Structures are given as structure tokens and as C-alpha cells.
Amino acid sequence: MTAPVPSIPEKTCLVTGATSGIGYETALGLARAGARVGIVGRDAGRTDATAARLREAVAGASIDVFLADLSSQAEIRRLAAEVRGRYARLDVLVNNAGAIFDSRHLTVDGLERTWALDHLAYMLLTLELLDLMKASAPARVVNVASMAHKRGRTDFDDLDGARRYGALKAYAQAKLGNVLFTAALARRLVGTGVTANSLHPGVIASGFAGGTGGWFGFGWSLIRPFLANPADGAATSLHLATSPEVETVSGLYFSRCRPVPTSSIGRDHDLQERVWALSLRQLGLSV
């Protein structure tokens, strides 16, 4: 049973990975709360269908469609420019899009795709929209991470898995990246009126493993019917996006709508700054 979502009329929110699973339920919850909601998807037909589904579920809902392949830095920059052009304000950014892949693949930018999609995309889209969010303050950045970050290590000698790739290893490394990024970002946002928090949504019956086959994909298909539903998975994202209780809370990691400790590595200040600097270089930005 999910908690009621506070009403947030006049707020504008953007949700990535909103065409299914937790992302869809997050967008649905925000629309029910009265917000104007931008949904980001990769496929035009599927994203338009999602917008129609949201409008049918919530009478009078204001839903905007944005298209982007978030594994591409050029696409993210184009998306951010479109958001800035369409919205006079942005109150909430929910970085939700992500996936796990059972084979190693490089993006158009020459980066391992799990790291590019699940970590760098969060960082680049946030930084591209940060001035708009500061001008809209109070505003909130919500980063959907995972308890998998506790298994994560940042392998600076083989970040892209060229020597040894594993689906869970790459995913855990990227989710650790979310936690490290959130903490480093929160420090830089002090005094701006913008907060940043990360979260574990739970182990949810979503489509996040859709990019896998082999033993992992088979195993996921077996356990999926026994997992929590996406609406429960969206509860913590919605809490961080809307609750007055966390309006000024920043730099924390949440599970089941409560702050909980990250791994000790996730709390490593030096590592946070090292990954921040590395990520900026990979994004072609100044350190």
C-alpha cells in the first residue's frame, strides 16, 4: 500500500524512463498530484502511447512528451535544450531511466553503455538543467539508484569492462556512481534552494532487465512474478519529489521513504570527488 502523494499544482516535473515500470508509476503519481509532467522515452510510438495512457488515467492531466536516447550525450544535450525551451520552470527532475545488459557494448561516445546510461546520463541531464532548476527554487533532483550500489566498486583501471565485463558488476558500479554523484552534487547545491537525493526503489517487477538474455535474463523472468509491483517501487521517488518533510533534505539516500545509510564506499568523500571529476571529463566538461 503506497502513501498518499501531496498535491503539487503549478509544479513542473520531468521523469526519464517513464514509459514503463517505476518511471510510469512515478509520472502517474505526479500527474495525480496535479503537476505538469514531462515524460522522456526513447521510442516515439511507445512514449506517445504512454502519454495517452496517463491522460486517460488522470482527467485533465498536463503531459508533455520528450524523446531521447539517454546513452548518447548529444541526445541528452538536445533533450535539455528542448526542456529549457518548453518550460519556464522545472521543479522536480526524476532521473529514473536505466538498464542492465548481459553483454558489453560501447555507446556512440565510446563509453560502456551501462555506465553511460545508468550514471553519466543522470549527471549530464542534471547539470544541463541545473540553471533552470535554480531559477525555479525550491526544486528537487531525485536519482533512482539501487541497493546494488553496496556491491559496487569503481574500477578505475577497467571502468568500461574491456578486460572483464559482467552485467551485475557494471550495474553495481553505475548505481554506486548515482550515490557518489548525488552526494557530490548536494554539496555544490548548498544555498541554491535545490536539493538532491538518491534512493533504492526496492526489487521491483519492472522491465529494467529487458536488455539481458542468457542466465541473467532467464533468472529474472523466473523471479519477476514474485517481486513488488512498480507502484510500490515509485513510492520513494514520489516521496522525495513531493513531500514537505524532505523539502530541505539533501545529499541523503532513501529506502521505503526513509533515509538509510549507503555503503561505506558510497560515503567516501574523496571517492565522490574523484568520480565527479572523472565523469566531467567523460562528458567533456570542465572539472
Domains along the chain with CATH numbers: 12-281 (3.40.50.720)
The least confident of 136-140, 207-211, 271-275 is: 207-211
Whole-number average pLDDT of the chain: 92
Bridge partners of 17, per DSSP, are none
Report the chain's C-alpha Rg in angstroms. Answer: 17
Where in the sequence numbering do the catalytic residues fall? 171
Per-residue pLDDT at 202: 83
Tens-place pLDDT, residues 80-102: 999 999 999 999 999 999 999 99
- Of 15-24, 112-121, 199-208, 221-230, the range with the lowest mean pLDDT is 221-230
Q: Which residue has the cell 514509459?
A: 19
Predicted confidence at residue 75, as pLDDT, reads: 98
Q: What global pTM score does this model have?
A: 0.92
Whether 219 has a pLDDT exceeding 80, the answer reads no
pLDDT above 50 for 265: yes
Please tell me the predicted confidence (pLDDT) of residue 2.
61
pLDDT digits (tens, 9 = 90+) for 113-135: 999 999 999 999 999 999 999 99
Q: What are phi and psi of 155, to 5 degrees?
A: -90, 85
Q: In this predicted structure, what is the pLDDT of residue 224?
A: 43
